[in-house]
Structure 1
Amino acid sequence: MFGRRRKENRRAESPDPAEEAEQVPARESGPWDADEPHSARERVDLGGLRLPVDPGFEIQLTVEGDRISGAVILSQESALQVQALAAPKRNGIWDEVRAEVAGAVKNAGGTCEERQGPFGAELDARIPGEDGTPQPIRYLGIDGPRWLLRAAISGRAALDAEVAATLENVIRDIVVVRGDGPMAPHEPIELRLPAEARQAMGQQEPGRPDLKPFERGPEIAETR
């Protein structure tokens, strides 16, 4: 009787490995998953991404064909480009994406060096501009629950730590909405215009879309 009780106690004290694998440690700062507790500050709802609003920001959307795949936040002579990608449930993809980015930079005639930044491993790159002058750009990646937030900081913020801090705080306050549907790893999480922007564009004369529908806060424009 006593032996069976000890065996049952050991079984109760030893957690199921499958249950341990499902546990995801709570993160202390963003970017946040939509299902995680996060601040209720004002954000632009782009579907797959919710971006923090600030009067000094201008937000542009990156369009690939008919699909909105990313967003660019302009502030203080700098740009923060963000894109959310689907990832497997069990492991992140930033390591392999970072290697792909490094290869693409070198193929374009640029250079890059891996270093540790506020979000972990990142790439400090120099890419030839239109006049051949090397342009600084930082590539960052943050693995979340079944997603990767990929970011690139360029312009003044790529060299000025104080300006960079503003955009780094933007990254910390982004909310990623992965959704429950099946997606292939590396597939971009699709974005959409906010409801008020779609309504404003629908009221424009044909052939003259207004890509700055907000009276205050960020401006939304399309880049192709």
Structure 2
Amino acid sequence: MIFSRKRADDARHARDERTTEVLDPQETGESSPQAPARGPYDVSEAPDTPRLDLGSLQIPAVPDVEVRVQADPQGVIQQVVLVHGDNALQLGVFAAPRSDGIWDEVREEIRQSLFNDGAAAQEVEGEYGIELRARVRTPDGLTDLRFVGIDGPRWMVRGVYQGDAAGDPDAAGPLALCLSGLVVDRGQEAKPVREPLPLRLPREMAEQQAAAQQSAPGQREA
């Protein structure tokens, strides 16, 4: 089952109903911890902005970006893809060790897998470090892909761009804003390295799925 949702509408419903005045620390004489200038953020340091909560991954509200979530009948999310125009960004989040990041190893495995499939991948320096760019053959023809990896505290986010954004980072636009505003809620429980972190449907989407499942038997009987 696939759910699709526009982020511009989510922003209006995700905001807290309370109004909070933000004071300049210099005016109050107090110092407050500063969040990193750019994400993906760990949940412990994330700025307070409207986001779509998928459990381990929270996606910021960016106008005109559509969030497409594919889940199985039990509501377990199998795939998350952000779409803006002809560009797409597929997202994944994985467990990592405390000490070292895993993107270097994962990137090499992706490169080798592409090579085995007859596609040459090129390493280039990107906004988050070394990226992989490749052109692969699909049933629809040749498709450009750009793989981006970001290591965080005990997690790694992997993004795969398609469309013009795969060859030209400047074309990513709102999708790049989504990537830089992601929040990862790793949790404290021990997990095997590289295991996908659990993603769940938000309540609204889960209710839609439950309603669809309840109506399905009646439709068959009719």
Q: What band does the TM-score fall into relative to the shorter chain? A: 0.7 to 0.9
Report the Cα distance in structure 2 between the residues aligned to 1:103 and 1:207, rounded to whole angstroms: 44
Any conservation in 2 of the 1:85–1:186 contact (CA below 8 Å)? yes
Out of 91, 96, 104, which is 2:113 matched to? Answer: 104
Report the Cα distance in structure 1 between the residues aligned to 2:190 and 2:133, rounded to whole angstroms: 33
3-state SS of 2:44 partner: coil
Matched, 1:206 2:215: yes
Instruction: Tell me the TM-score normalized by structure 2.
Output: 0.75
CA deviation vs aligned residue, 1:160-189 (integer Å, no higher than 9, x gap)? 443213222211100011000110000000
Structure 1 residues 136-215: aligned runs within 5 Å: 136-204=144-212, 205-207=214-216
Overall identity of the aligned pairs, in %: 36
Alpha-carbon shift at residue 79 of structure 1 (Å):
0.7
Larger CA Rg, structure 1 vs 2? 1
Any conservation in 2 of the 1:69–1:83 contact (CA below 8 Å)? no
Partner of 1:48: 56
Report the Cα distance in structure 2 between the residues aligned to 1:70 and 1:61, rounded to whole angstroms: 6
Structure 1 residues 62-73: aligned runs within 5 Å: 62-63=70-71, 67-73=76-82
Report the Cα distance in structure 1 between the residues aligned to 2:61 and 2:143, rounded to whole angstroms: 27
User: Closer, same or farther in 2 for the Cα pair 1:27/1:40, shift >3 Å?
Assistant: closer
Unaligned 5+ segments in structure 2 are 1-34, 218-222
Aligned length: 181
CA deviation vs aligned residue, 1:13-35 (integer Å, no higher than 9, x gap)? xxxxxxxxxxxxx7431000011
Which 4+ runs in 1 deviate beyond 3 A?
62-67
CA deviation vs aligned residue, 1:23-53 (integer Å, no higher than 9, x gap)? xxx74310000111x3222111000100012
